[in-house]
Amino acid sequence: MAAYNAFVEKAEFNRIGWAASALMFQGCILTPALLITMFYFNGSDWQLLVGNLSFLLVLVPILGAMHVKYIFPSFGVSLLIHLALILVNIL
């Protein structure tokens, strides 16, 4: 936990870069991958809803100008949700 807190303190200086990177990865890689797998494997509407809500889970701390210590966990949860949905579609 101490290593995470030290990393977050160092990352706070580049908060805008971390926020832009998280949003870009979310919007340009994860969401299109989810939509492509939903299209090819006949995903349902609840997957689209969960994907959009997890996208908002990252967007809200960024637009709220919150500290990096809130952006990192929300991005991690959103990443796990998107990967789980993609795996549900593929498997």
Using CA atoms, how far apart are residues 11 and 80, in angstroms rounded to an integer?
Answer: 22
Q: What is the pLDDT of residues 27-82, one digit of tens each?
A: 999 999 999 999 999 888 899 999 999 999 999 999 988 888 899 999 999 999 99
What is the pTM assigned to this prediction?
Answer: 0.87
**Number of independent structural domains in the chain:** 1
Domain of residue 44 covers: 2-90
DSSP per position, 13-43: GGHHHHHHHHHHHIIIIIHHHHHHHHHHTT-
**Interval 11-26: pLDDT, tens:** 888 889 999 999 999 9
